Each structure stands twice: as structure tokens, then as C-alpha cells.
Amino acid sequence: MKEIIDEAVRVLKSGGVILYPTDTVWGLGCDATNPEAVARVFAIKRRSEAKSLVLLACDLDMVARYIREIPSIAIDLVEVNDVPMTIVYPGAQGLPDAVVAEDGSVGIRIPLNEFCVQLVRRLRAPLVSTSANISGEPSPARFSEIDPAIVSAVDWVAPKRFDAGATGRPSQIIKLGLRGEVEIIRQ
């Protein structure tokens, strides 16, 4: 797996877009700190840049580099979590506008599959994680469900043998505030 991750990281660091299985569905990814790469993801998906993107981080230390203040409840949620969970944090910082919501928040998930964790750790930056579909179409749980236009538009594709990594189920989404507010957006 090391060689595969090395190749994907090389593409990501050069501003490329990858197609890979997350712990939920197959996703399009890029270095979330690279505005040009983020713009390419929006173009490939044919998605409005008015919608923010979910990011993957390898651990809470990485999350802390891009959030002004992590709500204390987030630490507890991450520690007990055993299903894919995206936390929408207030106070994003150091990220391109296109990955940040209008209210200044950003959705970040620490993935449960080792491939994604190692990929993000080696990249040393958050990874965009948006479903590998044309905007409005169903999210692909398996590689065979991905539109050929998406496959041909990316710079690197994870081996199809990783297909089992994606569960096909979306993550929970929980929005946190700095004063203890918790909003469950999706269970």
C-alpha cells in the first residue's frame, strides 16, 4: 500500500485530483489548501462553488491547524466515534474560501479506513472528500457506479481492489458551536 499512497501523494502535491474510496463512498480528492485544485474538483463535479466541501484530516492535531478553536465536545465525539462522522466546526482558518461555508465553518471527518488516514497523514494537509459524481447524481458506493466522465477527468485513480473500502453509507453530520451548541444534520 505504501507505493500506492506515495503515487497518490505525488499527484496531490502537484495540484492533481484523485479518485479514491473513502470510508463512505468513492470520492474526488485534492489538497484542500490548494485553491486551483479545489476549483478543478468543482469543475469535474459540475458543482456550484457556493457549496462547501467536506475535508478529511488524519487526526485532531491536523484539525486544530485549520480551526481557530475546537469545541471541547468535538474531542469526546471523535474519541468515542465508531461510524463515519463529519463534524462541522466553526472558525475555519488557513483554507481556501471554496471549502469554507458562508458562516465560516468547515466540515471535517477523521476517516475510519487506514488507506485514507495514511493518505492524509502523508499529504500533511487536509484532503477534499466529495462524492465522485456529477452534482445531483447518486453518490457511487462502488467504482463501477462512477460516471466515465469523472474517471477520465482525474489525474490518479485508486486501484479497483480498494472497492471494498467504501461502505456506500453517508457519514453522520454534526454541527458544533463554541458555546456547546450541537446540531445533528444527518444521523
Query: Residue 178 — very low, low, confident or very high, per pLDDT cuts 50/70/90?
Result: confident
What pLDDT is stored for residue 97 in this prediction? 93
* SS3 sequence of 116-151: HHHHHHHHCCCEECEECCCCCCCCCCCHHHCCHHHH
Residues 19, 20, 24, 28, CA torsion sign: negative
What pLDDT is stored for residue 11 in this prediction? 98
How much is the average pLDDT of 44-59? 89
pTM, two decimals, is 0.93
What are the residue boundaries of the structural domains of the chain, listed by start?
2-186
What pLDDT is stored for residue 87 in this prediction? 97
How much is the average pLDDT of 177-186? 88
Pairing of strands 18-21, 156-157: parallel
What pLDDT is stored for residue 139 in this prediction? 92
Taking only the tens place, the pLDDT of each residue in 104-153 is 999 999 999 999 999 999 999 999 999 999 999 999 999 999 999 999 99
Whether 59 has a pLDDT exceeding 90, the answer reads yes
Query: Which of the pair, 111 or 169, is modelled with greater confidence?
Result: 111
What pLDDT is stored for residue 14 in this prediction? 98
Helix axes 114-123, 2-13, angle to 10 degrees: 50
CA distances to 9, 117, 158, 169 from 3, rounded to whole Å, are 10, 15, 11, 28
What pLDDT is stored for residue 161 in this prediction? 80
Taking only the tens place, the pLDDT of each residue in 60-114 is 999 999 999 999 899 999 999 889 999 999 999 999 999 999 999 999 999 999 9
**Local structure of residue 159 (DSSP, 8 states):** -
**CATH number belonging to the domain at 2-186, selected among 3.40.50.10540, 3.40.50.980, 3.90.870.10, 2.40.30.10:** 3.90.870.10
Whether 42 has a pLDDT exceeding 90, the answer reads yes
* Separation between Cα atoms, residue 102 and residue 88, nearest integer Å: 12
Whether 187 has a pLDDT exceeding 90, the answer reads no
What pLDDT is stored for residue 169 in this prediction? 81
* Separation between Cα atoms, residue 19 and residue 22, nearest integer Å: 10
b (16+ CB within 10 A) / e for 119-149: bbebbebbbbbbbbbeeeeebbbebebbeee
